[in-house]
Chains A and B, each alone.
Chain A
Amino acid sequence: MMNSLFLLLFILFGSAILSYIGHRISETLGNIIVVVGAFSASIWFFVGFETPAEFSYKIADFDALWSFSSYSWIFAALVSILSPLALLYSTSYMKGKERLGTFYFNFFLSILGMIGITMSQDFISLFIFWEIMTWSSYLIVIYLGKDVEKVGIKYMIFSAIGAYALLMGIVLINREVGSLLIEDAFAYFPQIQFSTQLLIGILLLIGFSIKSAMMPLHVWAPGAYSNSPMSYTAVFSGALSKMGIYGLGLVFIRLLSSGEFTLINEIFAWAGAITTLMATFYAIIQDDAKKLLAYSSIGQLGYIIVGVAIGTELSIMAAIYLAILHAAFKGNLFMAIGAVEKQTGSTDMTLVTGLIRKMPLTFFSTLVSIIALAAVPPLGGFVGKWMLYQSLLASEHFFLIIVIFTASTAAFLYSFKILYSLFLGQEEPEFKNIKEAPLPMLIPMILLSLFLIVTGTFPGILFEPIANGMKYLGFNDVNWNMSLLVNAWGDEVNLQHVSMYIGTIFIVAFIFISLKNRKRTRYVTTKDISTSGEIPLPHENLSFKLNFYKPFERAISPVMKKTMDSIYDEIGNGLNALFQFIRYIYSGNGQGYALYVIIFFVLLLLLKNQIFGL
């Protein structure tokens, strides 16, 4: 009997290979394999583990252990839910593209990487899966062949820096603890010399926070998120970035638990908050919906980082909750934008317009996700933000709240922009024949939207596994209610009352306004509007889209002058110049090389006393 964990990876790997082969034969066969593989892995994940499964082995003299902790289970569940939906979506979204086999191969491998990360209870397999996830996602990022040099290399450089920071931390842990099991590391960590503790902590944090796109290490993310096919970005931003959060949680709560590291917590919390604010500002000025969502992802991850870094019971709960919610609404949004891209061929918000009547369901799921993203009650997003603010208030991080609350308010700007630009506004004749997205794309979007609606009233369905997972992090009895939020001072929000009230009033007012009204009115086009007596010509542009938030841009222009990208570019150029200079050491001149040999020999003779201590 095969180990159930091993079987899970085996299903994923098998699906990767089979879908590659399948897509070489025919697209339909490949798609069937993709969907069956994805769902069977997911189903196996949820039903295949009656008892806590374990798989321990030795690889190259390192003890390795696979098992889901209650904490990592949350993240694995997130991957297992989001990825089959994204793959189902993908079968339709990627229709007719080239090299689908490679795409799905890498897609499955990165899912395998994520599942592997969550099941690794030792650093060595964690790192291996981490790298598998990284390079498979890299291959997807550059899959469409856009900006390969710029975006792909940037992603790879930052991933490599992150991974190597992680690796350095891991080898130091190995030296200090003598074992790479995560539990051993937690147990023996407090006995390590303080400076080493600090070094290990910082290295691991850098490693994990790069994946969760924290400023100033985020510059890879906008390009990488917007350049991969949207079906993958849904997972990339929704689940893959959460692997960083998963790691940050482990490091902040379990590893750096001694209370001597509050400064690091503060620094990361502030970095998270500034990430949120700046990413929101950048999202506001974007004109491409994909880029906008990419920056928005960075911003949302910032909240989660704040929550993890603060490290109180409520903040961790908020962070994990937000991580799950973010996966749902951002996954949904990327899918919706992908649907728009698929149907209209563009995601340029100044170009695409007035799709609401053509793609009502896509609009609906975008709307729901946006409401959740903007944390407006009564949808699920609000719950997470509320808990986060309450935890910050209770832990006396006042200015932090201001920063992230401001960011949250500014998020309305881009939230509205994306809804307005793509779906509302003037209806143009060039988008007259657009149809609603096909069913395989709609089903995941609708399911995720329903999830967001339900969690708005009953967040308890998520609190249960979260509370369970937080036991692993050392918070043993976490209070939670099915639909009641309570803060540290006993103030509460009753979500059922909120939803019931909003629902009732909405229905009453709806009846009131629709009675004798809706039926008798007739629909007029968006050209038929009040224009102070002037009649617009048929081709007159009535759209207000370009520089939508120009006044706001002007107001925030002082902080937007110097981007992180430009700083990195300068560093890159400087290094390049230096490298070019070093390159001329190899002049290609044989005599020069011979001279080097002699100089080296003479130098050694001269310095022999210093070197050999004569």
Chain B
Amino acid sequence: MVIADPIYYIVLPLLTAFLLPLFGKLYKPLIGIIPGFVFLFLAYMSVILMIDIRPDNPIITKIAGWTPPFGINLVFSSFSGFIASLISIMGFLIWAYSYKFKKVGFDDSLKYFILLLLVVTGSIGIVLTGDIFNLFVFLEITGISAYALTALYRGRDGAEAAFKFLLIGAFASSMILLAIILLYTQVGTLNMAEISVRMHEVDLKIKVLIFILFFVGFGIEAEMFPLNGWVPDAYSQAPGPIAAVFAGMVAKAGIYALVRIIYLMFDLEGAFHLLLIMGVITMIIAEVVALRQEALRRMLAYSSIGQMGLIMIAFSFNTEQGVFAAIFLMFNHAIIKSLLFLTTSFLVYNTKTKLISDLDGFGKKMPLVSLLFGLGAFAIVGLPPFSGFWSKLYVLIAAANQHMEVIIALILSVSVVEIIYYFKVISRLYFRKASEEIPIQKPSLNSSIVMIVLGLIIISVGVYPDLITGLIENATTSLLNKDLYIEKILPGLAEIIN
């Protein structure tokens, strides 16, 4: 029996990140190998924890022995646990994809792995923490390592992208910090469960102000329009696997935080409406802009924003089906977008200009990568029998049950746009003659395996969605059952206060 405790999610990668330079001094290849073991352990621990977790028995870990509300606690519930597991498993896959990182062209693996570890720590921390200030800290960890990762290539474009990211990220930090300060003055606690209980004491106007601050702050991380100016640059300038990290982890953590705040702390009807409107606008604008992109990475980045918009829409329904759909979407998006970014990284590497128009005939040159890209594209636009279909279906069903026919029509129209730009790429990959023979960098074995694994997940969830729906149902129950969350963290507190 392995010791399985959510605390390891934070401690282990953080510690490794600090010790990695030392290992590097001892023996160079350890830089690549050690993070792998850490990720493997985290992934393994996720599986162990997820087997037992039920909506009514979240694992609550107190840090340094202080009980909440005084101490910081980590809450591994069905929902947060699911997302954390997703992130850790994705972390392992991305490590496996890139552990021979320097061979792909850049010899700075130490920085890369440290930052990768930090960004994973930060993202998981955001998801697991039960303390609002702690959440802010993790957000900063994620943010800073993400800025650094964006600029990892030290090129002009990378620096510019990182600067934009930093600039807007600074807004996010300051707004969230401001919100936390305001909140603390009102309720006198930083524990999210306790805040939730005490929230009704707060004056509505201040409550709304705090909410808006949070909304804008987390909206930046969750790639909400018009706060997502950093996204296309960051996604297209960061190293290939890091774009997958952004799509699969950072954005997920951002939307998680936003949703956690809305569902747990702010009982505002308008919040859901706002989320719906912003989700729709985000989705439409992003997909439309994606259509007009010429660079593959940027196209994927905008597509990613569009998907985040869809997730926001799903969360905004505030119904069981909506949340279910949203979590399913998060899962699918993490898997599929990662696959797309990982394959794209190889496709783009072998072109001169990184433009879609350079991809003619790659289906022959790089059969596996192209096939997997095609698979990912099919899945992300929601064609059955791939996993993306089911999440889209659930979103539509949730919208239908809310009597939102217009939203359905919008989502579907946007899906048509999505189909257009993804199929443009596919038809270039497969049905155009290659222009010239340039030497092709074949994918290494480890990265091929990672991509194949992701592809298999997409197909198997697509053919048999019940593999995953059970977990998602639990996660949904856990998110919606706010009282249970409070009761488990602070037993009896609700009665005392009310």
The yes or no verdict on A and B being binding partners is: yes
Chain A: residues with CB nearer than 8 A to chain B? 58-61, 124, 127-128, 131-132, 134-135, 138-139, 142-143, 145, 148-149, 152-153, 156-157, 160-161, 164-165, 167-168, 171-172, 174-175, 199, 576, 578-580, 582-583, 585-586, 588, 590-594, 596-601, 604-605, 608, 611-614
Q: Does B171 lie within 8 Å of A597, measured CB to CB?
A: yes
Convert B360-392 into 0s and 1s, putting 1 for each residue whose CB lies closer than 8 angstroms to a CB of A: 000000000000000000100001110001100
Q: Does A153 lie within 8 Å of B230, measured CB to CB?
A: no
Output the nearest chain A residue to B286 by Cβ-Cβ distance. Answer: A586
Q: Does A152 lie within 8 Å of B289, measured CB to CB?
A: no
Q: Which of A61, A161, A580, A594 makes the CB contact (< 8 A) with B168?
A: A594
Output the nearest chain A residue to B416 by Cβ-Cβ distance. Answer: A160
Q: Which of A132, A153, A576, A612 makes the CB contact (< 8 A) with B423?
A: A153
Q: Does A175 lie within 8 Å of B397, measured CB to CB?
A: yes
Q: Which of A588, A599, A608 makes the CB contact (< 8 A) with B226?
A: A599
Q: How many A-B residue pairs have CB under 8 A?
A: 161
**What would 16 A/B residue contacts be, using CB atoms closer than 8 Å?**
A61-B469, A128-B384, A131-B383, A135-B378, A142-B427, A145-B432, A153-B427, A156-B420, A168-B396, A175-B403, A585-B289, A594-B229, A596-B226, A597-B226, A598-B171, A612-B211
Chain B: residues with CB nearer than 8 A to chain A? 160, 163-164, 167-168, 171, 175, 204-205, 208-209, 211-212, 215-216, 220, 226-227, 229-230, 232-233, 268-271, 273-274, 285, 288-289, 291-292, 378, 383-385, 389-390, 393, 396-397, 399-401, 403, 405, 408-409, 412-413, 415-416, 419-420, 423-424, 427-428, 430-433, 464-466, 469
Task: Give every chain B residue within 8 A of A124 (Cβ-Cβ).
Answer: 393
Q: Does B292 lie within 8 Å of A580, measured CB to CB?
A: yes
Output the nearest chain A residue to B394 by Cβ-Cβ distance. Answer: A60
Q: Does A148 lie within 8 Å of B167, measured CB to CB?
A: no
Contact of A167 with B469 at beta-carbon distance under 8 Å, contacts A596-B226, A599-B226 already known: no
Q: Does A596 lie within 8 Å of B288, measured CB to CB?
A: no
Contact of A586 with B431 at beta-carbon distance under 8 Å, contacts A593-B230, A601-B175, A611-B270 already known: no
Q: Does A601 lie within 8 Å of B216, measured CB to CB?
A: yes
User: Which A-B residue pairs are the 5 nearest by beta carbons?
Assistant: A593-B229, A612-B270, A164-B412, A590-B164, A128-B384
Q: Does B289 lie within 8 Å of A586, measured CB to CB?
A: yes
Contact of A60 with B432 at beta-carbon distance under 8 Å, contacts A160-B416, A596-B227 already known: no
Output the nearest chain B residue to A142 by Cβ-Cβ distance. Answer: B431
Task: Give every chain A residue within 8 A of B175 (Cβ-Cβ).
Answer: 601
B456 to chain A, nearest CB (A): 15
A539 to chain B, nearest CB (A): 36
Q: Does B229 lie within 8 Å of A153, measured CB to CB?
A: no
Q: Does A613 lie within 8 Å of B415, measured CB to CB?
A: no
Other A-B contacts than A168-B396, A590-B229, A597-B227, 4 sampled, CB-CB below 8 A, are: A60-B465, A171-B408, A597-B216, A599-B226
Contact of A613 with B292 at beta-carbon distance under 8 Å, contacts A160-B415, A199-B405, A588-B233 already known: no
Q: Does A59 lie within 8 Å of B466, measured CB to CB?
A: yes
The residue in A164, A199, A586 that gathers the most chain B C-beta atoms within 10 A of its C-beta is A586
Output the nearest chain A residue to B402 by Cβ-Cβ distance. Answer: A175
Output the nearest chain A residue to B212 by Cβ-Cβ distance. Answer: A604
A319 to chain B, nearest CB (A): 29
Q: Which of A175, A600, A608 makes the CB contact (< 8 A) with B401?
A: A175
Q: Does A164 lie within 8 Å of B164, measured CB to CB?
A: no
Q: Does A600 lie within 8 Å of B268, measured CB to CB?
A: no
Kindly state the separation between the CA atoms of A596 and B219 in the bound complex, as whole angstroms: 12
B32 to chain A, nearest CB (A): 34
Q: Does A611 lie within 8 Å of B274, measured CB to CB?
A: yes
Output the nearest chain A residue to B422 by Cβ-Cβ distance. Answer: A156
Kindly state the separation between the CA atoms of A61 and B384 in the bound complex, as whole angstroms: 16
Kindly state the separation between the CA atoms of A514 and B284 in the bound complex, as whole angstroms: 74
Q: Does B412 lie within 8 Å of A167, measured CB to CB?
A: yes
Kindly state the separation between the CA atoms of A378 and B24 in the bound complex, as whole angstroms: 88
Output the nearest chain B residue to A98 by Cβ-Cβ distance. Answer: B364
Task: Give every chain B residue within 8 A of A127 (Cβ-Cβ).
Answer: 384
Kindly state the separation between the CA atoms of A598 and B428 in the bound complex, as whole angstroms: 40
Kindly state the separation between the CA atoms of A321 and B413 in the bound complex, as whole angstroms: 36
Q: Does A600 lie within 8 Å of B427, measured CB to CB?
A: no
Output the nearest chain A residue to B399 by Cβ-Cβ distance. Answer: A171
Kindly state the separation between the CA atoms of A583 and B288 in the bound complex, as whole angstroms: 7
Task: Give every chain B residue within 8 A of A608 (Cβ-Cβ).
Answer: 208-209, 212
